Amino acid sequence: MNNEKKQFTKAAGIIGVLTLISRILGFIRDMVIAWFFGAGLLSDAFFVAFRLPNLFRRLFGEGSLTVAFIPVFSEHMTTFGKEAAFQMARSAVRMLSVVLVIITIIGIIAAPGIVALIAPGFTGAQFSMTVILTRIMFPYIFFICLVALSMGILNVLGHFAAPALAPVLLNLSIIAAVLFISPRLPDPSIGLAIGVIIGGILQLLLQIPFLIQKGFYFWQKANFYHPGLKKIGRLMIPSVFGAAVYQINILIGTLLASFLDEGSVSYLYYADRLVQFPLGIFAISMSVAILPSLSRQAASRDMQALTDTVSYAMKLIFFITIPAMTGLIVLRHPIVALLFERGAFDPISSGHTADALLYFSVGLWAFSGVRIVVSTFYALQDTKTPVKIAAISVSGNIVLCLILMGPLAHAGLALAASLSSMLNFTLLILALKKRLEALEWKKIIESVAKSMICSFVMGISLWAFVCFNETVNPASGFNRLWVVSVGVFIGIFIYGLTAYILKCRELRDIMKLLKKG
C-alpha cells in the first residue's frame, strides 16, 4: 500500500473502532428505550420527532456540509496555506451560526406543519406529543451542524478521533435521560428529548479542545463573509440531496408508515438501527476517512493516485459489507430478540422488526457502495451528477413504496429503500466510469465475486448452525446470546478462512494493518 492508502486505512480504522463503541452504546440506548416505551404511541411519537434532527445529523454530520467543506478547505490549504484556510473556516463558523439560529427559530414555530408533513397519519394525542417533542429537540440541529463543521476542519488536519467519538456522548445522554429524567415526568418521552439536547451540547464541547490543539480558535478575528464560502455553498446546496438519498428514502418510509398499524414506525426504526451498525462502522467510516485523501489528490491534480484510492476503497468496502449483509439476514431473528425483546417489546414486535431487517439488509452493499462513489464525485467538486441520479432514485423509492406497502406493509417500505439504493448505486457507477476511465473495474469485479463466494459459504454455515441450535435448545435469553455471539464468531472464521483460500488481497491488507496496529 502507498502512503495515501495507508493513511486512509488507518483513519478508517480509528473511525471504525470509535463508531463501533458508539453503535454498541446506541444499541444499549435502543434496548433501554424499547424496554421502557415498547413499540406504541409514545415511541412512535419520539422516533418521528427525532427523525428530523437525526436526519440533519446524517445530512450534515455525515453528509453535505462535510463533503462540501472538506474539498474547498483542502484546496485552500494546498494553494494558500494553513492560516488562509483557517480564516475561511472561521468565517464559515460565523455565518453558519447565524443561519442555524434562524433555522432553529423557524423550526420551533413551524413544528405543527413539519409533523403534519413527515407523519400525516398522526392525529390527536399522538400528533400533539410529536409536535412538543419536535420543538424541544429542534435546537439540536444548531449544535450538530457546528460539530459537522468542526469535523471537516479536524479531518483535513489529520485528526479523526474526536468527531467519531461525539455520538458516544449523545447515546450516553439519552440513556441517562431515560433512566433518570423520564420516570420523573408526566410525559416520559419529554425526558428523551431533553437527553438529545444535552447530548448535542456535549458533542460540540468535545471538539473545542482538539481544535485549539491544532491551532484553530473560534474567537480569533475573521470576516463574516469569505469568498470560499460561495464555493462551499455552491457545492453544499445540491449535495444536501445527493449525499443523503438513503436518509431521504427512510424519511419517506417513516411518512408512509404513519398510515399503517401502530408500531410500524418503531419496527422500521429498530431495523434501520441494526443496519446502521455495519453501515456506520464500515461504510460511513471509510467515506469520512477517504474524502480528505481524495480531496488532496484532486487539488494536486494527481488523477492516477485518485483512481487507485477509489479502487482500493471500493474493493475493501464490499469485502466487509457483503458478509455483514449475509450475517444480518441469517441471524436477524436471534439478533432482534436478543437486543429488543423484553419489557413492553413483545415477540410479535420482534417478528415484525426482523421482517423489516431482512429487507433493509439486502441493500446494505448498495448503501455502502454509494457512500464511496458519492465521496469521489464530491472530491472532484462535481455535485450535479449525484443530484440528478438522486432525483431518479428517490422517485423510484416513492413508486416502490406505494406498490410494496400494500402486500408487505412496513417490510415493503424497507424493501423499497433497498431497491432504490441499488438503482442509485448502479447509475452512479455508470456515471463514474465516464469520469474515471482508468479505474480498475475488472479487478473490482473480481474482488466482489470472491467476496460473494466467501459470503455464500459463510451464510450456509451460519444457517446450518442456527437450524441445529433451534432443534436442540429452547428459546431463552441465554440461548439468543449464545446463537448471536457464537454465530458471529463462526461467520468471521468461515469467511476469513474462505478468503484466505481464495487469496483475497483485502484480507492481507487488513491483517497487515492489524499487525502494525
Q: Using one digit for the tens of pLDDT, what is the confidence trace for 90-122? A: 998 898 899 889 989 999 999 999 888 878 888
Could you report how far apart the first and last alpha carbons of the chain are, in Å?
15
How confident is the model at residue 181, as a pLDDT?
92
For the stretch 141-178, what's the b/e string if a residue is b when 16 or more beta carbons lie within 10 angstroms of its beta carbon? bbbbbbbbbbbbbbbbbebbebbbbbbbbbbbbbbbbb
Res. 395 pLDDT band, cuts 50 70 90? very high
% of residues, the chain, pLDDT over 90: 36
pLDDT of 205 higher than 90: yes
Residue 237 cell numbers, joined: 446546496
In Å, how far are 5, 16, 211, 289, 312 from 154, measured between CA atoms?
Answer: 19, 16, 7, 11, 24
Query: Is 209 a residue whose pLDDT tops 80?
Result: yes
pLDDT single digits (tens) 317-354: 999 999 999 999 999 999 998 888 877 788 888 999 99
Give the distance from CA 247 to its chain's centroid.
Answer: 8
Length of the chain: 517
pLDDT at residue 516 is higher than 70: no
H-type alpha helices, 243-363? 245-257, 264-278, 285-299, 303-330, 332-340, 347-361
> Given this model, what pLDDT does residue 515 score?
61
- The CA distance from 294 to 292, in Å, is 6
What ranges do the domains of the chain cover? 3-439
Q: Is the pLDDT of residue 81 over 90?
A: no
